[in-house]
Amino acid sequence: MAARNQSLPERWTRREMLQGSGVALGALVLGAGKARAASDCDGRCYPPPAEAGRQRYTYFDQLPPLRYYQDRNGFLSGVYPPLEHNEMRITFMGSAIPPVRRAQQMMSIFVEVGWDPKRNRALDEFVFDCGSGVAANFGAMEVGYGRMDKVFVTHLHGDHVSDLTHIYCFGCASDRLTPLYVFGPGPSGIRSPRPPHPTYDDGTSAFCRHLREALRWHTESFSFQPTTYAAPYPTPREIQQRWGLPALPAPVADDPWGDGYAMVPVELDWRKVGVAYDNRATGVKITHFPVIHCRKGSIGYKLEWQGLSMIYTGDTKPERVSIEQARNGGRGVDVFVHEMVVPADVWAMQVMHLPKPLPPGLNKQWDESVSRTITVQDSSHTPQGAFGYLLSRIEPRPRLAVATHFPVSDDTVDCAMASVRQHVPDIGPLGERLTFSFDRMVISAYAGGGIVQRRGEVLDFGSSPLPQVYGDEGVPKYHDANGNPDPYAQIDRAQEIEAGPETYCRSGY
């Protein structure tokens, strides 16, 4: 394991958790491996007796801060901490599983590599999933829209794509004056069981096409502003060659090539392992691979750069392809980001705010909640014991495994660590070889160096990042005779109250 920041805690403090109850340890049988006694799977993790014990995640507060603002003569200003030349930075902008949770937004991670001093930003940057609520964290972490032009979607569930609407709609109003590329799986190919048994076009291209049209009113209404650069944008063929794309990119609608409202899907074959992105200029290669989640058509990604590697599986049941990708031909991976869910009874216990699980047959609502959660788990997710089993099958072990899509709090994390240790006894204390993601958690892996975990320290009431524009802006779609923005082109001014001596000041004051 690489060096950890010495200020991090060496051991997890239970903080009065699980008082008055023993912690039995759960597990999951996945075919191969040692058979487990039935009693091993009958464990329960009880929460603290007081509700307050479930309302904190102490570990996040113990991480050293990475400050995303600075004090300038008594004024707080936004500042993005630059990366080291050999740094791969993974920031969790969202980390939760539905239903919505105020402490955690839905899934999204932002991955950056290296540093480009000329543009004052990372050498290459990627968004992996963008679920509801994450745009606020991107803004607080000083990540502008111009840095969010490549979005890699694992699957098309709302908790992984909802804020794509926000990223797309408001990008041009800020500094994304180039196309939005959306990488994701192709159609599932599943035939509907209902007559006339259609096969839906449910892949990324269809999603982008319909989303773009659904947002037509927004994009037209904002097009009195520049939405592109004046300089010619590289051709589709040039982009394909620069980025090593599997197909020639093309917008889904009539937006001009190179325009900020051009939405460009890059559809990937979810049935096989393949290359999604291979940029020789920056050295980043991204591979996609199939996972198992809810419906055919979910994928994970592996990013490699300068000898560093990270995997993000998205949502998946326990499966073998992720294990093989994490083995990485015997080289292993530096950071392995994989989903984990709590056991069904823990989930029901949390939702119903109960001190411990109820016996079957005592409460109908309890029984239905547990049954429903088991059904979802069977179709879609990796329980905490299964997560431990997966780690036990990966050799060499990831330098740092990250459980995500998980409702973190002191009690759920402690319970999950116990389950993982059943399969990986040498996993060490929380944060050493295994950590649990939380919004604004920052993980930095260094080529030839260590891995450091930090927490992003932000301004809760800060404004959006300062736009970074890298050239002259083009003529907006709705412009006056001189090619300048025309804010009046699309509105009826008959009932307008104009600024003047008897009304209000045009300055806004």
**Category of 366 on φ-ψ map: left (φ > 0), alpha (ψ -120 to 50) or beta:** alpha
Q: Is residue 62 part of a domain?
A: yes
CA-closest candidate to residue 432, choices 40, 64, 11: 11
Residue 30 reports pLDDT greater than 50: no
Q: Is residue 500 part of a domain?
A: no
CA-closest candidate to residue 310, choices 243, 399, 408: 399
Residue 46 reports pLDDT greater than 80: no
How many angstroms separate the CA atoms of 134 and 96, rounded?
11
Looking at residue 31, what is its pLDDT?
35
Looking at residue 215, what is its pLDDT?
98
Which H or E run includes 379? helix 364-380
Q: Which two tokens stand for residue 89?
A: 């930075």
How many angstroms separate the CA atoms of 91 and 102, rounded?
18
Tell me: cis bond preceding 501? Omega within 30 of 0 counts. no
Residues, the chain: 509
How many angstroms separate the CA atoms of 131 and 108, rounded?
6
- DSSP states of 104-153: B-S-EEEEEES-BTTTTB-SEEEEE---TTHHHHHHHTT--GGG--EEE-
Q: Is residue 149 part of a domain?
A: yes
How many angstroms separate the CA atoms of 113 and 125, rounded?
7
How would residue 288 be classed by pLDDT, with cut points 50, 70 and 90?
very high
How many angstroms separate the CA atoms of 300 and 405, rounded?
14
Residue 10 reports pLDDT greater than 80: no
End-to-end CA distance of the chain: 58
Looking at residue 41, what is its pLDDT?
65
pLDDT tens digits, one per residue of 344-360:
998 888 888 888 888 99
Looking at residue 49, what is its pLDDT?
62
Q: Which two tokens stand for residue 313?
A: 């599986």
Looking at residue 356, what is its pLDDT?
82
* Lowest-confidence segment of 119-128, 176-185, 458-467 by average pLDDT: 458-467
Q: How many CA atoms lie within 13 A of 416 on its CB side?
A: 28
Q: Is residue 237 part of a domain?
A: yes
Residue 37 reports pLDDT greater than 50: no
Q: Is residue 100 part of a domain?
A: yes
Looking at residue 75, what is its pLDDT?
84
Which H or E run includes 77? strand 75-78
Looking at residue 1, what is its pLDDT?
40
Looking at residue 354, what is its pLDDT?
85
How many angstroms separate the CA atoms of 338 and 394, rounded?
13
pLDDT tens digits, one per residue of 201-256:
999 999 999 999 999 999 999 999 999 999 999 999 999 999 999 999 999 999 99
By CB atoms closer than 10 A (0-12, 13-18, 19+), residue 432 is middle
Which H or E run includes 58? helix 58-62
Looking at residue 67, what is its pLDDT?
95
Helix axes 384-393, 410-423, angle to 10 degrees: 40
CATH code assigned at 307? 3.60.15.10
Looking at residue 213, what is its pLDDT?
98
CA-closest candidate to residue 144, choices 462, 473, 487, 457: 462
Please tell me what DSSP assigns to residue 446: E
Looking at residue 357, what is its pLDDT?
85
Look over the chain and give the mean of its residue pLDDT values, rounded to a whole number: 90
Looking at residue 12, what is its pLDDT?
25
Q: Is residue 87 part of a domain?
A: yes
Q: Is residue 137 part of a domain?
A: yes
Bridge partners of residue 75, in order along the sequence: 72
Q: Is residue 413 part of a domain?
A: yes
Residue range(s) defining the domain that contains residue 101:
38-341+381-457
pLDDT > 90 in the chain, percent: 82
CB-based contact 441:188 (threshold 8 Å): no
Q: How many CB atoms lie within 10 A of CB 236?
A: 18
Looking at residue 487, what is its pLDDT?
95
Q: For the residues 71-95, what does the mean pLDDT come to?
A: 92
Helix axes 384-393, 320-327, angle to 10 degrees: 40
Give the number of domains in the chain: 1
How many angstroms separate the CA atoms of 439 and 436, rounded?
10
Residue 135 reports pLDDT greater than 70: yes
Please tell me what DSSP assigns to residue 336: E
CA-closest candidate to residue 126, choices 160, 174, 88, 171: 88
